[in-house]
Amino acid sequence: MSFELFEEYSLVLGIGGLILFMIFIVWNLAKESKAGRFGTFILFIALGLGLLGFVVKTVLVEVMGLGGQ
């Protein structure tokens, strides 16, 4: 396994783990604040837009070939 391949896998697993942890944090925040269904939905939409932006940016960079190679 090359260093570049290890680095790519580590990045994907690390960012994926952080995204899952952020989802857990938002869910826990909604539960602890007793936000209800609508409040939980709003929390996931509002805080999830940042995660969605990161994923969209990553996909666009790969599709457009702007990865700096």
Q: What is the pTM of this model?
A: 0.69
- Of residues 6 and 69, more confidence is placed in 6
Looking at residue 68, its pLDDT comes to: 57
pLDDT (average), residues 1-24: 90
State the distance between the two ends of the chain, measured CA to CA, in whole angstroms.
19
For the segment 18-32, what is each residue's pLDDT rounded down to a tens digit?
Answer: 889 989 998 999 999
For the segment 38-65, what is each residue's pLDDT rounded down to a tens digit?
Answer: 999 998 998 888 888 888 888 888 888 7
Cα 34 to the chain's mean position, in Å? 24
Give residues with Cβ within 8 angstroms of 29, minimum separation 6.
Answer: 35, 43
Give residues with Cβ within 8 angstroms of 48, minimum separation 6.
Answer: 23, 26
